[in-house]
Structure 1
């Protein structure tokens, strides 16, 4: 299981992040982005297969 914090860090660094709740291009949520809120994150996995790559890069820094 991926931690909430990891999902937030990855979402903040993902160029393909697209919020599920989007109104006229503005994000509705006032909380931090998370993979859980991305249209590309389905069944606890990134459909673009970017999560592991981004997490690896973030963890190197």
Structure 2
């Protein structure tokens, strides 16, 4: 299982992140950026296949 911290770090560094709570061009600020809140994160997996790539880059630093 992917940790909450990993999901938050990846979401903060993902160019394809788009909040499920996106409202009229403004992202709802009360929800933190996390893969769990992204429209592309389905069944605990990134449909764009970016999670592993971004997570790998973050873990190298």
**Post-superposition shift, 1:28?**
1.1
Q: Which ranges of structure 2 fall in alignment gaps of 5 or more residues? A: none
Aligned residues: 61
Structural RMSD (CA)? 0.9
Partner of 1:11: 11
Partner of 2:25: 25
Partner of 1:49: 49
**Cα deviation digits, residues 9-57 of structure 1 (max 9, x gap):** 0000000001001111111132420000000000000000000000000
The TM-score normalised by the length of structure 1 is 0.94
**Contact 1:18–1:40 (8 Å) recurs in 2:** yes
Q: Which ranges of structure 1 fall in alignment gaps of 5 or more residues? A: none
